Amino acid sequence: MLGIQYYKADSSTYVIRTAQGETKAAGRGLSFFYNAATTSIAAVPVSAQEAPFIFTLQTSDYQEITVQGQLTYQIAEPTVTAEVFNFTLNNSDQDYVTEDPMHLSDRVIRMAHSLIEAQVQGQSLRNVLNLGQRLIDGVRRGLLDGTALETLGLRLLDLSISRIAPTPETSRALEATTREAILQDADDAIYSRRKSAVEQERVIKETELQTELSVQQKEQELAAKQVENERDILRGKTQTEQERLAANIEAETVRTNLVQLRGQNSNQEADAQAYAITAKMQAFQSLPVEHLKAMALAQMQPEQLMALALDSLANNADKIGELNLGPELFTSAINRASKSRNA
């Protein structure tokens, strides 16, 4: 009907309506009537786009690896992107007139490919396999710092690398190497554990021997101390015995001196008594017998005098006719004798 058509875009599509070389309208989610003969419509999707990739690259040591991941980007400047790529719709408003919109993801993937390849080629296989987050950070930094995305009107939303893997043959070789290294580590651990056990056993044996040696030394010290104590006791007993003997000898010496002194004194007393007796005898020899008897009678006790009188009577009995003695005389004499004996 005179070429008039109606177009309506969703909210995730940026529409640029151009007629006769001039932009008549631009914006998201536009709807309008247009003349298909004179009007062209460019529909630029501004929602997030995902671009998965998988690259086969070569490391610095000539080993092939596979890097697999995904880019998420968004068209931030639709007008700039529409100037670089042809997003014009055909007359049915369903498809693009060219395949440029399909090449946008390829363009972004090639950018990531060049950045990833630059990092991988400068690293050995083992280093590349351990890059991980560092590789992601390097590629993201390269995309954001450069002007390639801005030139295309794009903004990077996310970058992820899910797999970095060598070829199956290399992977098996690495697995074998890693397995051997793990087994070697296990053997080293077993050796270290056995070595540690042997070392600990040696330390225990040395400790036991040291303990036994210490015990023997203590026993020897104790035995030596006991011997020394016994010697001290024996020495003390010997010294005590010597002191006792010395005291006995000194006492015997004192006693001997005392006996000698007593003997000397007894001799002197005997000499003095003998001298006195001799002197008395000499004096008595010069006295008459009657005087001596009188002196002897003067020294006697009454009962001695009575006994002497009785003895004289007995000796002169033939001269005495008759003599009467009363009992009182003997009673008094016996009583005096008993008193003197008890005293």
- Show me where the domains of the chain are located: 46-166, 184-260, 276-312
Q: Is 296's pLDDT higher than 70?
A: no
Q: According to DSSP H, which parts of the chain are helical?
A: 78-84, 100-121, 125-129, 133-145, 148-152, 168-285, 289-299, 302-315, 327-342
User: Quick one: which of 230, 61, 220, 72 has its CA closest to 139?
Assistant: 72
In this prediction, residue 128 has a pLDDT band, given cuts at 50, 70 and 90, of confident
Q: Is 70's pLDDT higher than 90?
A: yes
* Interstrand relation of 4-8 and 31-35 (parallel, antiparallel or unpaired): antiparallel
What confidence tens digit (pLDDT) does each residue in 181-219 have? 888 888 888 888 888 888 898 899 889 989 988 898 888
CATH topology of domain 46-166: Tetrahydropterin Synthase; Chain A (3.30.479)
Q: Pick the most confident of 74-83, 125-134, 329-338.
A: 74-83
Q: Is 52's pLDDT higher than 90?
A: yes
Q: What does the pLDDT read at residue 135?
A: 87
In this prediction, residue 299 has a pLDDT band, given cuts at 50, 70 and 90, of low
